[in-house]
Each structure stands twice: as structure tokens, then as C-alpha cells.
Structure 1
Amino acid sequence: MSEAARKVVVGSDGSALAEGVLDPLQTLLGSEEGARVYLLRTIAADAPEEQIEEARAALEQAARRHAAPRCEFEAHVRRGDAAEEILRFSQEVEADLIAMSSHGRRGVERFVRGSVAERVLRHAERPVLLLNPFALASWEGGVARVIVPLDGSERAEAILPLAQDFARRLSAELRVLHVSEPNDAPHRGIHRARIEATHAGLDAEGQPATLALREGGPAEAILDEVEQSEGGVLLAMTTHGLSGLERWAYGSVAEHVLRRCPAPLLVLRQR
């Protein structure tokens, strides 16, 4: 995956909410030379050809409404399962990012096991940008801060290059967040030292970042950091474990944050 998102696949169901994702992408990609957005609509395998043409025409109209000088839009319609086609198409075009809308007011609280968005998040091999109605409204006011929760592991840091890229494009503050748990005293010093070294490395790369150190439950602290931030926020984080989101059912930090966060979410699944 490239450190910069230049090729983006947008999963669309034809709704106004799904099209709303294109406005944030204009902000992110509008000045990026060679940027390309693929609008992908999936319909039933047995749908008549007429329905395919109608879906393609609707996507092409959406593309024209959101045209940007340096960003090209392509409309694609496929037959089959929506999640499978989004994942397959993203691999075919070597996308840097998948962008989707969710219908919950906060985070992905209305996700159910087997839904399109949940399945894409579970299996995607590239980052996913997820926006719900609240997040879309927040983005319209401008994103002032990109928050990256780090736990001292190399896996958690995998999202940093893309978070840096988003912060640069949005002219937003990059904020590294580390939460020390009360029962993690034996490793607290090691984790904090790595976080501080990572933070110093960002400064050395010419992209200053702020550092927030908190104590308590990780999920609650992350959500509190989002809620207390002034201006719009983008939360960028990884999911851990060989099975990605399969650990959500066991109450992981990612589950609590992703289901309750009102901000736009940039998620990278780590194997």
C-alpha cells in the first residue's frame, strides 16, 4: 500500500448517504495529481441488464457532480455480493483506500455480523475510511485534528504513514495518543519510551505532532480524546490480531471505539 491515498474505491448502494462520502474525498484528493476515484455499485446476479445501465447512469451523474480538476472519477457496476466485489475490485485496481458510509449515528453501532461494511472491514487488505451521517456533518466543518492511538506495538504504528498523509492534506494537527492501563505497570515504561521515540521521529521527519498521554481504560480514553477535541476530528487506528475484526466479539478496544466513535474513522486491519 502506498503511503499516499491516490486510488480510492467507494462502495455505493445508490443512496444519498453513500454519495455523501464523495465530498470528503474531494477535500482529500482534489489537489492530488493523478488521483482516481472508482465508484462501485453491486447489484444482484440475476438483475436485468436495464438495471445495470440505470445504476451506471446514476453513478456517472454522481461523478459529474463531484468532479475535481486533478481527480478522475470512474463508474463501475458489477453483479454479485457487495462486500466480495468491493474487496475483489480493490485488489484488481490496487486501491490505496476503500471509502464507505455507515448508517449508524455514532460509529458502526448498527453494524450486524455479515453486513457489507462489517465484512469489508473484517477482510480488507487496505485501509478503510468509514463515515456515518454525524461524521459527514463534522467533516463539512473542517477536520482540525487527526488522532492516532498507539499502544507501543509495531502493528499499531502501521497506520501512521497514511494518517500523516491525511493530516498534511487536511492541514490538520497530527496527535499521537497513548493510554496506559492501570494493570500494565510492568510494561508502562517500555511502551511509553517507544511512543515518545515515535513522536520524536515525526518531528524529525518535518511533520510536527502533539503527544497526549492518558491513563485508564483505552477505549474510554480514546473516545474521550475525540469528544474533547475542538473542531472536526479524524480517528486513525489499526485492529490487532491474525483475524482482524473477529476479536470484536470479545470486547476488544477496537470494537468499543469503532462502535461508539462519532468521528470519521480510518481503519487498517493488521494480520
Structure 2
Amino acid sequence: MYQRILLPTDGSKASSTAAEAAVRLADQFDAELHVIHVLEHDKISTETDDVAAPARNGEKAVQVAVELAASSGVEATRRVVEKSASIHQEILTYTAEHSIDCIVMGTRGRSGLSLSRAVLGSVAELTLRESPVPVMTVHEETVIDADISSVLVPTDGSECAHTAVEHAGKLARSVDATLHVIYVVEIGQVINGDRARRLREALEEIGEKALNLALEKVQSSTYLPTETSLVTGPPYLEIVRYAEEHDVDCIVMGTHGRKGIRRFILGSVTERVIRRADVPVISIK
């Protein structure tokens, strides 16, 4: 499934969690692990009289991740990349040059995806927008399980969702995990009455069709343990709640690509799930 995994690191708490996730993923798939730090020479150092401090800090961040990998029996390739373009572009260039098939990154948690210049804040957002390969994101509070044994994928019946369902199915099958597929019915502010009942029934019918299509896709080759559920409420809250209640180890969600994280499938749902979920989230075009 994943043969070459890339971990960009800056030594922050979020990237430390990402290192743990990347090592576990590489170990489970017996994959190559690449650890990089993008060096910013224009970044103001806290050690104002030491121009070599940023390079040393980058080497230290990489070394910590490499040592973590070694402690789990995972060999890692290490590199400090000289920044000639934006940080996320350097990450994507490395991805293309080394045939990376999954990127694991840290980002900010419940306070939101950073819009600052901090590495793995806005960098994670930009990488999510443009990456041609799946991106697994974690934050400081993310719980990393030893192995992936259950996978959750939300669907809305769109082409974007079908791509996510297909990837989630391959992931679950490759690690003998149970796949959970859910459709969230959101009826807004309509609370009661005959019109509300008809609206709910119509939306539930659409949801059942979407779930059946997803089930057909993942069961088209060989049997895969799959559970489907139709739930009602705010989509991002229901996705996070379902993941918690069913001990899901990983969430897979589709994105629309270059139009930005707020254009993800289900509107801004993916962004909110990334911030709030206690498990890693894999975003895929």
C-alpha cells in the first residue's frame, strides 16, 4: 500500500506526534521512511549571534525522528533540504523526486489550522491542497495506535468521496482492518413538521444510495469486513463522534485539490475533522 513515506519535521510537538505516526505506519507496511527538514536561512534565530543555529536545529529535529524510527526497527533516510522555494513546494519536490506515496505531517489541533508562517501550520494546509499523494495529518493530541485495525471513511456520493472510499478500502484490506463507511444527514434548522419529515426521508434515501454505492465499490473484488451507518447531525461532529465511539484508528477523507482546504468534500468538514479528531486523518484527492 505505502512503500515510501515522507516525514517533514521541524522539531515541534505536532511534528513529534507526526514522527510517531510515520514510524508506526512505516513499520506496519515495511516501508521506507524519509525524514526531512527544510532549512530557512531567512528565519530569525533565537541565537542571534549564531548563524549556524537554524541548521543545527534542523539536524536535531531530523535526528530525533531518526532515533525514534531506529528504536522501532525502522531504517530512515535523512536530509536537511536547502530552501530555494516555499517550504511546501520543497516537500512536494522531494515527494516527486523520491516517489513518495504518503506524507505524514503535524498540524495545529483544536485551535485551527495555522495561517501563520510557522512550519507545519500553513505549510500543512498548502501541502494538503497540492499534494498528488495522500497526506496523513496529526496534531498534538492525536492518539497513535500500534497498528491500524479499523478505518473510517465518510461519503456523500460524490466523485471525490468515491476516491476516498476506494483508498480507504485498499488501506483496510492491506492491513486486515474493518472498514466503516458513514453518510451524515444534515437537515439544518428544520426541526419538526411534515415538511421536515419529508426532507429527512429524502436525505436518508440519498444517503442509503451513497452507502450502497460505496459498499459495492469496496466489495467488488474480495470480501472486506465493512460496516455502514447513516447518522444525523453536523457532519464534522458526527464523523468525530463516530470515530470515538467505534474506536476507529484512522479517518480517510477526500479533497477537491488545489482550490484549498475550505473546498474539501462536505465543505469545511475535512478541515474541522483534522482539527478535532483524536486519530490520524488521511486526506486524498
Matched, 1:255 2:271: yes
Q: Identify, as 1 or 2, the structure richer in strand.
A: 1
CA distance, structure 2, for counterparts of residue 141 and residue 111 of structure 1: 28
Secondary structure of 2:156's counterpart equals: coil
- Give 1:108-187 correspondences, 5 Å limit: 109-112=112-115, 115-135=122-142, 138-140=143-145, 143-168=148-173, 171-182=176-187
Runs of 4+ in structure 1 deviating by more than 4 angstroms, as ranges, are: 46-51, 141-144, 168-171, 183-188
Shift of 1:58: 5.2
Report what 1:227 is aligned to.
244
Q: Which residue, 63, 82, 86 being the options, matches 2:87?
A: 82
Say whether the 8 Å CA contact 1:219–1:256 is kept in structure 2.
Answer: yes
Shift of 1:155: 1.3
Query: 1:27 and 1:162, CA in 2 relative to 1: closer, same or farther beyond 3 A?
Result: farther
Say whether the 8 Å CA contact 1:28–1:166 is kept in structure 2.
Answer: no
Secondary structure of 1:55's counterpart equals: helix
Report the residue type matching 1:238 in the other structure.
G
Shift of 1:221: 2.2
TM-score, scaled relative to structure 2? 0.76
Say whether the 8 Å CA contact 1:27–1:170 is kept in structure 2.
Answer: no
Shift of 1:100: 0.6
TM-score, scaled relative to structure 1? 0.79
Shift of 1:63: 1.8
Say whether the 8 Å CA contact 2:261–2:268 is kept in structure 1.
Answer: no
CA distance, structure 2, for counterparts of residue 112 and residue 54 of structure 1: 23
Report the residue type matching 2:78 in the other structure.
A
Secondary structure of 2:133's counterpart equals: coil
Report what 2:280 is aligned to.
264
Say whether the 8 Å CA contact 1:56–1:75 is kept in structure 2.
Answer: no
Q: Deviations over 1:148-189 (max 9, x none)?
A: 000011211212343234434554321001123335865653
Say whether the 8 Å CA contact 1:28–1:170 is kept in structure 2.
Answer: no
Matched, 1:19 2:16: yes
Secondary structure of 2:282's counterpart equals: strand
CA distance, structure 2, for counterparts of residue 189 and residue 110 of structure 1: 34
Shift of 1:83: 1.8
- Give 1:20-39 correspondences, 5 Å limit: 20-33=17-30, 35-39=31-35
Shift of 1:113: 6.1
Matched, 1:195 2:211: yes
Query: 1:131 and 1:226, CA in 2 relative to 1: closer, same or farther beyond 3 A?
Result: same
Say whether the 8 Å CA contact 1:101–1:132 is kept in structure 2.
Answer: yes
CA distance, structure 2, for counterparts of residue 119 and residue 241 of structure 1: 10
CA distance, structure 1, for counterparts of residue 138 and residue 149 of structure 2: 16
Equivalent pairs, count: 258
Query: 1:132 and 1:170, CA in 2 relative to 1: closer, same or farther beyond 3 A?
Result: farther
Report the residue type matching 1:43 in the other structure.
L
Report the residue type matching 2:211 in the other structure.
I
- Consecutive unaligned residues of structure 2, counting only runs of 5 or more, are 44-50, 188-198
CA distance, structure 1, for counterparts of residue 38 and residue 257 of structure 2: 30
Say whether the 8 Å CA contact 1:142–1:232 is kept in structure 2.
Answer: no
Secondary structure of 1:94's counterpart equals: coil
Q: Give aligned-pair identity as a percent.
A: 25
